[in-house]
Structure 1
Amino acid sequence: MVGDVPEIGKNWWLFVVLGVVCVITGVLAIVWPGLTLLTLGIFAGIYLLVTAIMEIIDAIIGEPGGRALSAILGIVSLIAGLIFLRRPGESLLAIVIVAGIFLVAEGVIRVVRAFGSTGRRWWGVAAGVIDVAVGAIILAWPDIGLVTLAVFFAITMLVRGTLAIVLGFQLRKLAHHPESAQVHTASYA
């Protein structure tokens, strides 16, 4: 369990907002797979910066056993987000490689966190495996077209957005009834 659950429960809405941003980004990438690289890069950069902030906060106030992983993922997310926002339309290859590396790193960390938590481990393992698979595909074929990248990106955004929304509402329930359930954010976030 991450940190003081009642304190995290008060901020449940952050997970819901992150989830909604992810789902909207995923839907836009599916509806308009031919989005310009600039738009896709900006959306991805904003998402990665929000993820970085949440991971760094978890590294500071989270469970001691998971702080190092949160810090590493926060730094990787921050660097990737800044690259996306700094050069969103200049180089498809750079964005593809950064996206692939981020997804593989996050997927591995997600799986490690899932095995280190109790409760619903399969959420974290499933999300991690999807991230690693999509990241590996992107890295294996860095010259894939923007449409293919948009579809892979959309899949990961939809999965991660759904998981974040579910977690947010579970945290909300936990904030109102702390004795009713245990939520393990390391499995979802």
Structure 2
Amino acid sequence: MNAAPAGAVPVRHTYVGHLLLAVGVVSVLVGLLMLFLPRHTLTALGIVIGLQLIVIGFIRIWAVGAFVAASGLRVLGILLGVITVVAGVICVFRPGTSLLVIAIFIGIGWIADGVVEIVAFARGDVAHRGLALFSGALTLVAGVIVLVYPRSSLVTLTQVIGVLLLIFGISNVAAVLTGRRVVTAGADADV
């Protein structure tokens, strides 16, 4: 076993260690919620997106009124701000509908990506043609599945992200608790 270098302290005794532990624990908790309560997690996400849109809309209205001199642009900017606020209110009160729209856009985007990769394969524009064809076909099929089953796709995607967060969180907590050592400056060792 290698001896720790001079000035090395266990990561759990540093500020970074405390931060890694906190991020790991939060990631595990959120991952469990996403894995076992995906619909509730999605509803909360829809509400958060709606609140963000409301704030962005009001900021847009304020910024246009404060910084845009041309009256035509000011009217257009304020109109876009109002539309953003209205979209945010809809998301807050109907989060499932807003997430459904997001799923549809994801499906359309994946279909477009798949078609682009398949066309690149057909034209010979890529170095790894087999990988491009496989990736394009997989992305195209995934996009079609998301468009056909948008609600189920969102739930499945939420659960996959939940598993990834669990793995990430557990690895962070394990790194801190197993006493991995980091080299710090003398003053950092006391943090």
TM-score range, shorter chain: 0.3 to 0.5
Higher relative contact order (CA 8 A, sep 6+): 2
| Larger-gyration structure (1/2) | 2
TM-score (norm 2): 0.38
TM-score (norm 1): 0.39
